[in-house]
Chains A and B, each alone.
Chain A
Protein backbone atom coordinates (compact mmCIF):
# COMPACT_ATOMS: atom_id res chain seq x y z
CA UNK A 1 0.00 0.00 0.00
CA UNK A 2 1.38 3.38 -0.92
CA UNK A 3 0.02 6.64 0.35
CA UNK A 4 1.06 10.22 0.68
CA UNK A 5 0.92 12.71 3.50
CA UNK A 6 -1.48 15.55 2.86
CA UNK A 7 -0.95 18.96 4.41
CA UNK A 8 -0.80 22.16 2.56
CA UNK A 9 -1.58 25.81 2.23
CA UNK A 10 -5.24 25.98 1.31
CA UNK A 11 -6.33 23.15 -0.88
CA UNK A 12 -2.99 22.40 -2.54
CA UNK A 13 -1.20 20.20 -3.18
CA UNK A 14 -2.64 16.70 -2.90
CA UNK A 15 0.80 15.27 -2.20
CA UNK A 16 3.31 16.58 0.26
CA UNK A 17 6.24 17.84 -1.76
CA UNK A 18 9.73 18.98 -1.06
CA UNK A 19 11.13 21.59 -3.36
CA UNK A 20 14.77 21.15 -4.22
CA UNK A 21 17.27 23.40 -5.87
CA UNK A 22 18.57 22.36 -9.28
CA UNK A 23 21.70 20.59 -8.10
CA UNK A 24 21.36 17.22 -6.48
CA UNK A 25 24.21 18.08 -4.11
CA UNK A 26 21.80 20.33 -2.26
CA UNK A 27 19.68 17.45 -1.02
CA UNK A 28 21.64 16.81 2.19
CA UNK A 29 21.35 20.38 3.40
CA UNK A 30 17.65 20.44 2.67
CA UNK A 31 17.06 17.25 4.55
CA UNK A 32 19.08 18.76 7.38
CA UNK A 33 16.80 21.81 7.30
CA UNK A 34 13.67 19.71 7.44
CA UNK A 35 15.05 17.69 10.33
CA UNK A 36 15.79 20.88 12.23
CA UNK A 37 12.34 22.30 11.59
CA UNK A 38 10.71 19.09 12.64
CA UNK A 39 12.83 19.08 15.78
CA UNK A 40 11.65 22.58 16.57
CA UNK A 41 8.10 21.53 15.86
CA UNK A 42 8.18 18.41 18.00
CA UNK A 43 10.42 19.40 20.86
CA UNK A 44 10.82 23.08 21.35
CA UNK A 45 7.20 24.01 21.67
CA UNK A 46 5.46 20.73 22.36
CA UNK A 47 2.22 21.25 24.17
CA UNK A 48 2.19 24.97 23.66
CA UNK A 49 0.08 27.08 21.42
CA UNK A 50 3.15 27.61 19.26
CA UNK A 51 3.42 24.04 18.06
CA UNK A 52 0.87 24.39 15.30
CA UNK A 53 2.59 27.54 14.07
CA UNK A 54 5.97 25.85 13.96
CA UNK A 55 4.53 22.79 12.29
CA UNK A 56 3.17 24.95 9.54
CA UNK A 57 6.63 26.33 8.97
CA UNK A 58 8.10 22.85 8.70
CA UNK A 59 5.38 21.73 6.38
CA UNK A 60 5.50 24.77 4.20
CA UNK A 61 9.14 24.14 3.33
CA UNK A 62 7.91 21.07 1.55
CA UNK A 63 5.29 22.87 -0.52
CA UNK A 64 4.98 25.63 -3.07
CA UNK A 65 6.34 28.87 -1.66
CA UNK A 66 4.09 31.90 -1.59
CA UNK A 67 3.77 35.15 0.28
CA UNK A 68 2.10 33.53 3.27
CA UNK A 69 4.97 31.06 3.56
CA UNK A 70 7.53 33.81 3.57
CA UNK A 71 5.72 36.01 6.05
CA UNK A 72 5.08 33.15 8.47
CA UNK A 73 8.71 32.16 8.36
CA UNK A 74 9.90 35.64 9.20
CA UNK A 75 7.53 35.77 12.15
CA UNK A 76 8.91 32.42 13.26
CA UNK A 77 12.44 33.80 13.14
CA UNK A 78 11.44 36.89 15.04
CA UNK A 79 9.21 35.39 17.72
CA UNK A 80 10.91 32.10 18.41
CA UNK A 81 14.54 32.51 17.40
CA UNK A 82 14.83 36.17 18.41
CA UNK A 83 15.93 37.58 15.06
CA UNK A 84 15.95 41.29 14.44
CA UNK A 85 14.53 42.80 11.26
CA UNK A 86 15.61 46.42 10.95
CA UNK A 87 13.77 46.72 7.65
CA UNK A 88 11.44 43.75 7.14
CA UNK A 89 9.71 45.19 4.07
CA UNK A 90 12.89 44.99 2.00
CA UNK A 91 13.60 41.43 3.14
CA UNK A 92 10.06 40.36 2.25
CA UNK A 93 10.24 42.00 -1.17
CA UNK A 94 13.58 40.36 -1.94
CA UNK A 95 12.40 36.91 -0.91
CA UNK A 96 9.20 37.27 -2.90
CA UNK A 97 11.21 37.90 -6.02
CA UNK A 98 13.89 35.29 -5.28
CA UNK A 99 11.84 32.39 -4.00
CA UNK A 100 14.47 29.79 -4.73
CA UNK A 101 16.46 31.43 -1.97
CA UNK A 102 13.76 31.05 0.65
CA UNK A 103 14.63 27.76 2.29
CA UNK A 104 18.37 28.40 2.11
CA UNK A 105 17.79 31.59 4.09
CA UNK A 106 15.72 29.69 6.61
CA UNK A 107 18.43 27.06 6.92
CA UNK A 108 21.22 29.62 7.36
CA UNK A 109 19.21 31.49 9.97
CA UNK A 110 18.65 28.35 12.03
CA UNK A 111 22.33 27.39 11.74
CA UNK A 112 23.36 30.86 12.85
CA UNK A 113 21.03 30.76 15.82
CA UNK A 114 22.38 27.33 16.75
CA UNK A 115 25.95 28.59 16.57
CA UNK A 116 25.52 31.89 18.40
CA UNK A 117 22.20 31.64 20.19
CA UNK A 118 21.94 34.01 23.13
CA UNK A 119 25.52 35.22 22.73
CA UNK A 120 24.77 37.49 19.81
CA UNK A 121 22.17 39.66 18.21
CA UNK A 122 21.27 38.15 14.84
CA UNK A 123 19.51 40.21 12.21
CA UNK A 124 18.33 39.52 8.70
CA UNK A 125 18.79 42.50 6.45
CA UNK A 126 18.93 43.46 2.80
CA UNK A 127 22.41 44.78 2.12
CA UNK A 128 22.45 47.34 -0.67
CA UNK A 129 25.76 48.33 -2.18
CA UNK A 130 25.26 51.78 -3.71
CA UNK A 131 28.49 51.68 -5.68
CA UNK A 132 27.71 48.69 -7.85
CA UNK A 133 23.91 48.71 -7.44
CA UNK A 134 24.00 45.25 -5.97
CA UNK A 135 21.81 43.92 -3.20
CA UNK A 136 21.59 40.67 -1.33
CA UNK A 137 20.37 39.29 1.96
CA UNK A 138 22.76 39.32 4.88
CA UNK A 139 22.54 37.67 8.26
CA UNK A 140 24.48 39.96 10.58
CA UNK A 141 25.94 38.58 13.80
CA UNK A 142 26.67 41.28 16.37
CA UNK A 143 28.06 40.82 19.86
CA UNK A 144 28.74 43.01 22.86
CA UNK A 145 32.17 41.46 23.14
CA UNK A 146 33.36 39.73 20.02
CA UNK A 147 34.63 36.18 20.30
CA UNK A 148 38.10 35.83 18.76
CA UNK A 149 37.02 32.94 16.53
CA UNK A 150 33.79 34.50 15.32
CA UNK A 151 34.91 34.45 11.69
CA UNK A 152 35.80 30.77 11.91
CA UNK A 153 32.36 30.04 13.33
CA UNK A 154 30.72 32.03 10.56
CA UNK A 155 32.77 30.12 8.00
CA UNK A 156 31.42 26.85 9.37
CA UNK A 157 27.87 28.12 8.81
CA UNK A 158 28.68 29.31 5.30
CA UNK A 159 30.12 25.94 4.31
CA UNK A 160 26.87 24.33 5.40
CA UNK A 161 24.44 26.42 3.38
CA UNK A 162 26.49 27.64 0.41
CA UNK A 163 26.02 24.48 -1.70
CA UNK A 164 22.35 25.44 -1.86
CA UNK A 165 23.18 28.73 -3.57
CA UNK A 166 24.60 27.06 -6.67
CA UNK A 167 22.70 27.87 -9.82
CA UNK A 168 20.00 30.01 -8.28
CA UNK A 169 19.19 33.66 -8.59
CA UNK A 170 19.76 35.81 -5.51
CA UNK A 171 22.42 35.68 -2.83
CA UNK A 172 22.82 35.29 0.92
CA UNK A 173 25.76 36.09 3.17
CA UNK A 174 26.36 35.46 6.85
CA UNK A 175 28.68 38.13 8.20
CA UNK A 176 29.56 40.49 11.00
CA UNK A 177 30.40 44.17 10.85
CA UNK A 178 31.98 44.08 14.34
CA UNK A 179 29.52 46.71 15.47
CA UNK A 180 27.72 46.49 18.81
CA UNK A 181 24.18 45.13 18.77
CA UNK A 182 21.63 47.55 17.39
CA UNK A 183 19.23 48.72 20.06
Chain B
Protein backbone atom coordinates (compact mmCIF):
# COMPACT_ATOMS: atom_id res chain seq x y z
CA UNK B 1 0.00 0.00 0.00
CA UNK B 2 1.27 3.43 -0.87
CA UNK B 3 0.04 6.70 0.50
CA UNK B 4 0.25 10.30 -0.56
CA UNK B 5 0.83 11.21 3.11
CA UNK B 6 2.70 8.16 4.44
CA UNK B 7 2.90 8.03 8.24
CA UNK B 8 6.26 6.23 8.39
CA UNK B 9 8.90 8.28 10.17
CA UNK B 10 11.50 5.57 10.60
CA UNK B 11 12.21 2.03 9.45
CA UNK B 12 14.89 0.02 11.23
CA UNK B 13 16.52 -3.25 10.34
CA UNK B 14 18.87 -4.59 12.97
CA UNK B 15 21.09 -7.65 13.33
CA UNK B 16 22.94 -8.82 16.42
CA UNK B 17 25.42 -11.54 15.65
CA UNK B 18 26.41 -14.41 17.90
CA UNK B 19 29.49 -14.17 20.09
CA UNK B 20 31.18 -16.82 17.94
CA UNK B 21 31.28 -14.33 15.08
CA UNK B 22 34.80 -12.99 14.78
CA UNK B 23 34.97 -9.29 15.38
CA UNK B 24 37.80 -6.82 15.32
CA UNK B 25 38.08 -3.02 15.26
CA UNK B 26 38.90 -2.91 11.54
CA UNK B 27 35.48 -4.24 10.49
CA UNK B 28 33.57 -0.93 10.57
CA UNK B 29 36.26 0.71 8.44
CA UNK B 30 36.20 -2.16 5.96
CA UNK B 31 32.44 -1.89 5.68
CA UNK B 32 32.67 1.86 5.12
CA UNK B 33 35.18 1.45 2.29
CA UNK B 34 32.74 -0.84 0.50
CA UNK B 35 29.56 1.20 0.95
CA UNK B 36 30.82 4.78 0.99
CA UNK B 37 29.35 5.48 -2.43
CA UNK B 38 25.91 5.11 -0.84
CA UNK B 39 26.74 6.22 2.71
CA UNK B 40 29.53 8.79 2.38
CA UNK B 41 29.13 10.66 5.69
CA UNK B 42 30.99 8.90 8.46
CA UNK B 43 30.59 9.57 12.15
CA UNK B 44 31.51 7.57 15.17
CA UNK B 45 30.43 7.00 18.72
CA UNK B 46 31.93 5.25 21.65
CA UNK B 47 29.43 2.81 23.04
CA UNK B 48 29.88 1.78 26.63
CA UNK B 49 28.50 -1.45 27.93
CA UNK B 50 27.74 -1.49 31.61
CA UNK B 51 28.36 -4.75 33.39
CA UNK B 52 27.74 -5.42 37.03
CA UNK B 53 29.90 -7.87 38.93
CA UNK B 54 28.76 -9.46 42.13
CA UNK B 55 31.06 -11.26 44.55
CA UNK B 56 31.53 -11.63 48.28
CA UNK B 57 32.61 -8.00 48.60
CA UNK B 58 29.43 -6.73 46.97
CA UNK B 59 28.46 -5.18 43.64
CA UNK B 60 30.83 -3.37 41.34
CA UNK B 61 30.23 -1.89 37.91
CA UNK B 62 32.48 -1.75 34.94
CA UNK B 63 32.25 0.19 31.68
CA UNK B 64 33.62 -1.46 28.56
CA UNK B 65 34.05 0.91 25.61
CA UNK B 66 33.48 -0.21 22.05
CA UNK B 67 33.41 2.04 19.01
CA UNK B 68 30.39 2.24 16.76
CA UNK B 69 30.63 3.60 13.24
CA UNK B 70 27.69 5.52 11.81
CA UNK B 71 27.59 5.92 8.03
CA UNK B 72 24.98 8.23 6.58
CA UNK B 73 23.66 9.09 3.17
CA UNK B 74 24.44 12.61 2.03
CA UNK B 75 20.96 13.83 2.99
CA UNK B 76 21.16 11.98 6.36
CA UNK B 77 17.87 10.17 5.75
CA UNK B 78 19.41 6.70 5.77
CA UNK B 79 22.21 5.33 7.87
CA UNK B 80 24.16 2.18 8.59
CA UNK B 81 25.56 1.52 12.07
CA UNK B 82 28.26 -1.04 12.70
CA UNK B 83 29.30 -1.89 16.23
CA UNK B 84 30.45 -4.86 18.23
CA UNK B 85 28.47 -7.75 16.66
CA UNK B 86 25.88 -5.24 15.53
CA UNK B 87 24.58 -4.10 12.17
CA UNK B 88 21.72 -1.64 11.92
CA UNK B 89 20.20 -0.02 8.87
CA UNK B 90 17.82 2.89 9.44
CA UNK B 91 15.70 4.87 7.03
CA UNK B 92 14.02 8.11 8.02
CA UNK B 93 11.25 9.96 6.26
CA UNK B 94 10.67 10.40 3.43
CA UNK B 95 10.46 6.63 3.27
CA UNK B 96 10.52 5.51 -0.32
CA UNK B 97 9.09 2.05 0.20
CA UNK B 98 10.37 -1.46 0.80
CA UNK B 99 11.65 -1.70 -2.74
CA UNK B 100 14.00 1.13 -1.84
CA UNK B 101 14.85 0.03 1.70
CA UNK B 102 15.44 -3.63 0.85
CA UNK B 103 18.50 -2.98 -1.35
CA UNK B 104 20.09 -0.91 1.41
CA UNK B 105 19.62 -3.77 3.87
CA UNK B 106 21.03 -6.23 1.35
CA UNK B 107 24.01 -4.01 0.60
CA UNK B 108 24.92 -3.61 4.25
CA UNK B 109 24.31 -7.24 5.17
CA UNK B 110 26.15 -8.68 2.18
CA UNK B 111 29.03 -6.30 2.86
CA UNK B 112 29.48 -7.31 6.46
CA UNK B 113 29.43 -10.96 5.41
CA UNK B 114 32.30 -10.20 3.08
CA UNK B 115 34.45 -8.73 5.83
CA UNK B 116 33.75 -11.31 8.53
CA UNK B 117 32.22 -14.75 8.83
CA UNK B 118 28.82 -14.47 10.46
CA UNK B 119 28.62 -17.62 12.56
CA UNK B 120 25.12 -17.05 13.86
CA UNK B 121 22.40 -14.51 14.51
CA UNK B 122 21.23 -13.98 18.05
CA UNK B 123 18.66 -11.34 17.22
CA UNK B 124 17.30 -9.56 14.22
CA UNK B 125 14.34 -7.29 13.77
CA UNK B 126 12.45 -5.15 11.35
CA UNK B 127 10.80 -2.14 12.98
CA UNK B 128 8.50 0.46 11.50
CA UNK B 129 7.59 3.60 13.39
CA UNK B 130 4.52 5.45 12.13
CA UNK B 131 3.63 8.92 13.33
CA UNK B 132 -0.08 9.54 13.16
CA UNK B 133 -1.73 12.90 13.69
CA UNK B 134 -5.50 13.10 13.73
CA UNK B 135 -7.29 16.44 13.52
CA UNK B 136 -9.85 17.31 16.17
CA UNK B 137 -10.02 18.10 19.86
CA UNK B 138 -12.01 15.11 21.09
CA UNK B 139 -10.93 12.00 19.24
CA UNK B 140 -12.65 8.66 19.62
CA UNK B 141 -9.68 6.35 19.19
CA UNK B 142 -11.82 3.42 18.07
CA UNK B 143 -12.82 5.45 15.05
CA UNK B 144 -9.21 5.40 13.86
CA UNK B 145 -7.52 2.41 15.47
CA UNK B 146 -8.31 -1.26 15.78
CA UNK B 147 -5.67 -1.37 18.50
CA UNK B 148 -6.00 1.21 21.24
CA UNK B 149 -6.36 1.57 25.01
CA UNK B 150 -9.79 0.24 25.94
CA UNK B 151 -11.39 2.13 28.82
CA UNK B 152 -14.22 0.42 30.61
CA UNK B 153 -17.31 2.38 31.66
CA UNK B 154 -16.05 2.74 35.23
CA UNK B 155 -12.96 4.62 34.07
CA UNK B 156 -12.55 8.25 33.03
CA UNK B 157 -13.08 8.43 29.31
CA UNK B 158 -10.54 11.10 28.49
CA UNK B 159 -6.80 10.67 28.76
CA UNK B 160 -3.68 12.59 27.82
CA UNK B 161 -1.08 9.86 27.80
CA UNK B 162 -1.25 6.22 26.80
CA UNK B 163 0.86 3.23 25.94
CA UNK B 164 -0.51 -0.11 24.80
CA UNK B 165 1.46 -3.02 23.39
CA UNK B 166 0.88 -6.59 22.35
CA UNK B 167 3.16 -9.31 20.96
CA UNK B 168 1.93 -11.95 18.55
CA UNK B 169 3.73 -15.26 17.97
CA UNK B 170 4.77 -16.51 14.54
CA UNK B 171 6.42 -19.73 13.39
CA UNK B 172 5.88 -21.62 16.65
CA UNK B 173 7.06 -18.60 18.64
CA UNK B 174 10.41 -18.51 16.90
CA UNK B 175 9.43 -14.99 15.91
CA UNK B 176 7.33 -12.38 17.65
CA UNK B 177 5.71 -9.30 16.26
CA UNK B 178 4.97 -6.52 18.70
CA UNK B 179 2.74 -3.57 18.05
CA UNK B 180 2.78 -0.61 20.35
CA UNK B 181 0.73 2.55 20.40
CA UNK B 182 1.99 5.50 22.43
CA UNK B 183 1.23 9.17 22.75
CA UNK B 184 3.37 11.64 20.83
CA UNK B 185 3.67 15.39 20.64
CA UNK B 186 1.33 16.96 18.08
CA UNK B 187 3.03 19.15 15.53
CA UNK B 188 -0.24 20.83 14.58
CA UNK B 189 -2.76 22.62 16.76
CA UNK B 190 -5.76 20.61 17.95
CA UNK B 191 -4.42 17.28 16.76
CA UNK B 192 -3.97 13.97 18.54
CA UNK B 193 -0.53 12.51 17.85
CA UNK B 194 0.44 8.88 18.30
CA UNK B 195 3.35 6.64 17.45
CA UNK B 196 2.44 3.21 16.15
CA UNK B 197 5.48 0.94 16.33
CA UNK B 198 5.45 -2.45 14.66
CA UNK B 199 8.40 -4.68 15.37
CA UNK B 200 8.93 -8.17 14.03
CA UNK B 201 11.87 -9.90 15.67
CA UNK B 202 13.62 -13.21 16.02
CA UNK B 203 12.82 -14.36 19.53
CA UNK B 204 14.98 -17.47 19.65
CA UNK B 205 18.71 -17.26 19.07
CA UNK B 206 20.34 -18.91 16.07
CA UNK B 207 17.11 -20.38 14.73
CA UNK B 208 17.64 -18.69 11.39
CA UNK B 209 20.89 -19.24 9.55
CA UNK B 210 22.86 -16.27 8.20
CA UNK B 211 22.13 -17.52 4.68
CA UNK B 212 18.40 -17.17 5.27
CA UNK B 213 18.40 -13.85 7.09
CA UNK B 214 17.28 -11.74 4.14
CA UNK B 215 14.54 -14.20 3.29
CA UNK B 216 13.42 -13.97 6.93
CA UNK B 217 13.40 -10.21 6.56
CA UNK B 218 10.95 -10.50 3.65
CA UNK B 219 8.53 -12.40 5.81
CA UNK B 220 9.05 -9.87 8.57
CA UNK B 221 8.11 -7.11 6.20
CA UNK B 222 4.98 -8.90 5.03
CA UNK B 223 3.85 -9.43 8.62
CA UNK B 224 4.62 -5.87 9.66
CA UNK B 225 2.51 -4.60 6.78
CA UNK B 226 -0.37 -6.87 7.71
CA UNK B 227 -0.30 -5.84 11.36
CA UNK B 228 -0.06 -2.18 10.52
CA UNK B 229 -3.04 -2.50 8.21
CA UNK B 230 -4.90 -4.45 10.87
CA UNK B 231 -4.20 -1.81 13.48
CA UNK B 232 -5.87 1.06 11.69
CA UNK B 233 -9.38 1.72 10.44
CA UNK B 234 -10.41 2.78 6.98
CA UNK B 235 -11.14 6.23 8.37
CA UNK B 236 -7.52 6.63 9.44
CA UNK B 237 -6.21 5.15 6.21
CA UNK B 238 -8.20 7.77 4.35
CA UNK B 239 -6.16 10.45 6.11
CA UNK B 240 -3.03 9.00 4.51
CA UNK B 241 -4.65 9.13 1.06
CA UNK B 242 -3.97 5.75 -0.47
CA UNK B 243 -2.69 5.92 -4.03
CA UNK B 244 -2.37 2.28 -5.10
Q: Please say whether chains A and B are actual partners in one complex.
A: yes
Contact residues in B for A12 (Cβ distance below 8 Å): 14, 16, 123, 125, 201
Are the C-beta atoms of A22 and B92 separated by less than 8 Å?
Answer: no
Contact residues in A for B195 (Cβ distance below 8 Å): 67-68, 71
Interface residues, chain B, with chain A CB atoms under 8 Å away: 9-10, 12, 14, 16, 43-55, 63, 65, 68, 70, 76-77, 81, 86, 88, 90, 92, 122-123, 125, 127, 129, 131, 160-161, 163, 176, 178, 182-188, 195, 197, 199, 201-203
Question: How many Å lie between the Cα of A92 and that of B195 in the bound state?
Answer: 13
Question: Can you identify 24 A-B contacts, CB atoms within 8 angstroms?
Answer: A1-B54, A2-B52, A4-B50, A10-B201, A11-B176, A12-B16, A12-B125, A12-B201, A13-B123, A15-B50, A17-B49, A21-B46, A22-B45, A66-B10, A68-B197, A71-B184, A72-B182, A88-B187, A92-B185, A92-B187, A96-B10, A96-B92, A97-B77, A97-B92
Question: How many Å lie between the Cα of A64 and that of B127 in the bound state?
Answer: 13
Task: Report how many residues on chain A are interfacial, defined by Cβ distance under 8 Å.
Answer: 42
B20 to chain A minimum Cβ distance, whole angstroms, is 15
Are the C-beta atoms of A20 and B46 separated by less than 8 Å?
Answer: yes
B166 to chain A minimum Cβ distance, whole angstroms, is 13
B149 to chain A minimum Cβ distance, whole angstroms, is 13
Are the C-beta atoms of B122 and A66 separated by less than 8 Å?
Answer: no
| The stretch of A74-82, A128-136, A154-162 that contacts the partner chain | A74-82
Prevailing SS type, chain B contact patch: strand
Per-residue contact bits, chain A 53-73, to B (CB 8 Å; 1 contact, 0 not): 100000000101011100110
B187 to chain A minimum Cβ distance, whole angstroms, is 3
Per-residue contact bits, chain A 90-107, to B (CB 8 Å; 1 contact, 0 not): 001000111010000000
Task: Tell whether A24 is near chain B: CB-to-CB under 8 Å.
Answer: yes
Contact residues in A for B43 (Cβ distance below 8 Å): 100, 168-169
